[in-house]
Amino acid sequence: MTISKKGKILVVDDNAGIRRTLEILLPVHFAEVKTIPSPTTLVSELEQFRPDVVLLDMNFHTSINTGNEGLYWAGELKKMAPEVEVVLFTAYADIQLAVEGMKRGAFDFIVKPWDNEKLMSTLTAARDKAMKALGRDSSGSALRMTRSGDGTGPCHSERSEESMFWGTSRPMAVIRKTLDKIAPTDATVLITGENGTGKDVLAREIHSRSLRSGKPMVAVDAGAITETLFESELFGHVKGAFTDAHTDHAGKFEQADGGTLFLDEIGNIPLHLQAKLLRAIQSRSVVRVGGSKATPVNIRLICATNMDLEQLVREGRFREDLYYRINTVHIALPPLRERREDIVPLAQLFLERFAEKYHRSLTGLDASAREALESARWNGNIRELQNVIEKAVILSEAKNLSAKDFQMETSGSALRTTNGADEEKLVRDAMERTDGNISAAAKMLGVSRPTLYAKLKKYGL
């Protein structure tokens, strides 16, 4: 049988023995192979050698202070040449980092010491995908390079939004019936529920089924906006309003004009800023910071929170008039433990989604997997389930997932059952594994961004 030799591969690994071994193995399947010991020359090699695939070690002793060089360079590669497929080369102890790398766009990862068949299968699949994306044959053609931020790169569609999964539980059937009635109206909606129950997904469902669906839905994590920027972010500012205001800026209210404004984590807004928000909601107009002219805005308002706003009102921490203004229709999403009949179907949905995303041939869940999923507490709700399935899909090499593939003890609900030194360690670990990315770390821990901010402040991180 003749083996097809095509495409180019660049290996970046500081182990000379590994480089020599790969220089023998890889030419069997690749037309051109190049190895370098350090990512310091990666940019120039990318431009001159123009590989289809980069096999990238996860750890080097470089000056890049990111906590993990592999994640940094994988990100830089995808910025400069999005069509190039990156396969991460990792030690067993760094598998969690490799998983994070795949979430950031890497094609796959290989664990050292490697299996030759698995190595070649993964690398050739990555090569074929890269060459197909470029429309290249074995003779090759010019690689389109794009510098980060230069605007010359190919267009990439944004991540497809999650669709609403209704399932068969009674609580969700009631909510769906309510949605059928209110979606076509302009009624203000307040969505409540624990972290991870899908409040943002439900908000998008309401917008998509409204008469405003052709207009934008602008989502704001209201609790994550710093107090000093709150008015500027929501209401906009005029040029010269403050030191860095070099141009006029339309705030979220204006950006959502004609469409829907989704204020998530509304319960975290400080009391003294709630009055300004109430004024804008009541008048349906905004005055930009530094300006004097009121600009009318035509929006539908949807708010969400995991807090008990009625209790906050009683405690004097949330304005009663604002509460009634945003609570025309109240939808309370149930936790996953109250809709257990939906757990396995949701897991199967996530399995199919991630199997496609990460090029896995998984098809389903075996009996042990279904039993384990249905018996878990899921304190992190749908978000936790999604994270558990995503990690299992990435790590498993079987045809079906089984209970042993799940790592639920370290999944999204970790902070709910720890405190003190253990909690600080979890927070510190999450921040290190995500290179300080607040949103990614919060998702990993199964908490909101404001909650994570509070934890970081608490532990001085």
Q: What is the dihedral of CA 282, 211, 191, 288, to 10 degrees?
A: -40
Instruction: For tokens 């944004």, name the residue.
Output: 158
User: Which range, of 57-71, 318-332, 349-363, averages the lowest pLDDT?
Assistant: 57-71
Distances (CA, A) of 400 to 14, 39, 369: 36, 37, 9
Residue 111 pLDDT more than 50?
yes
**Six-digit token pair at 307?**
């807090």
Q: What is the pLDDT of residue 413?
A: 43
| Beta strand pairing call for 294-296 and 285-287 | antiparallel
CA-based nearest residue to 248, from 230, 232, 225: 232
Helical residues (DSSP H) of 256-330, grouped into ranges: 271-283, 309-314, 320-326
Q: 3-class SS at 142?
A: coil
Which two structure tokens, joined as six digits, stand for 269? 């807004």
Residue 262 dihedral angles phi and psi, to the nearest 5°: -110, 110
Q: Which two tokens stand for residue 85?
A: 């497929």
Reported as a single tens digit per residue, the pLDDT across 162-181 is 678 898 899 999 999 999 99
CB 455 within 8 A of CB 442: no
What SS3 state is found at 82? coil
pLDDT range class, residue 153, cuts 50, 70, 90: very low
pLDDT-derived band at 155 (thresholds 50, 70, 90) equals very low
pLDDT at res. 140: 44
**Angstrom distance (rounded) from CA 52 to CA 34:** 12
Quick check: helix, strand or coil at residue 369? helix
Domains in the chain with CATH codes:
8-134 (3.40.50.2300), 170-332 (3.40.50.300), 336-410 (1.10.8.60), 414-458 (1.10.10)
Gap between the Cα atoms of 86 and 89, Å rounded: 10
Q: How far apart are CA 191 and CA 330, in angstroms?
A: 6
Q: How far apart are CA 35 and CA 89, in angstroms?
A: 13
Pairwise pLDDT comparison (69 vs 239), residue with the higher score? 239
Query: What is the rounded CA–CA span in Å between residue 137 and residue 285?
Result: 57
Least Cα distance to 53 among 4, 103, 117, 121 occurs for 121
> What is the rounded CA–CA span in Å between residue 385 and residue 408?
9
Whether 351 shows a pLDDT value over 60: the answer reads yes
**pLDDT confidence of residue 138:** 43
Beta bridge partners of 327: none
Computed over every residue of the chain, the mean pLDDT equals 83
Q: What is the mean pLDDT of residues 61-81?
A: 72
Residue 255, H or E segment: helix 252-255
Other beta carbons within 10 angstroms of residue 22's beta carbon come to 21
What is the reported pLDDT for 301?
97
Q: What percent of the chain has pLDDT over 90?
A: 41
Report pLDDT for 156.
Answer: 32
Q: List, in sequence order, the alpha helices (H) in 139-194.
A: 170-182
pLDDT band, very low/low/confident/very high, at 417 (cuts 50, 70, 90):
very low
- Whether omega before 450 lies within 30 degrees of 0, making that bond cis, reads no
Task: Give pTM, 2 decimals.
Answer: 0.62
Residue 422 predicted with pLDDT over 70? no
Burial class (CB in 10 A: 0-12, 13-18, 19+), 322: buried
What pLDDT, on a 0 to 100 scale, did the predictor assign at position 136? 57
**Residue appearing with tokens 């950006």:** 255
Residue 267, classed as helix, strand or coil, is helix
Q: Which amino acid is at 189?
A: V
Place of tokens 């001085």: 460
**Distance in angstroms (rounded) separating the CA atoms of residues 424 and 347:** 30
pLDDT of residue 249: 86
What's the confidence (pLDDT) of residue 448?
Answer: 66
pLDDT above 50 (res 145): no
* Six-digit token string for 315: 């405690």
Q: What is the pLDDT of residue 4?
A: 67
Bridge partners (DSSP) of residue 9 are 33, 53
pLDDT at 451: 73
For the CA atoms of 350, 452, 425, 419, the dihedral, rounded to the nearest 10 degrees, stands at -100
Percentage of the chain exceeding pLDDT 70:
85
**What amino acid occupies position 461?**
L
Work out the number of other CB atoms within 10 angstroms of the CB of residue 289: 20
Q: Per-residue confidence at 160, pLDDT binned at 50, 70, 90? A: very low
| Residue 428 contacts residue 444 (beta carbons within 8 Å) | no
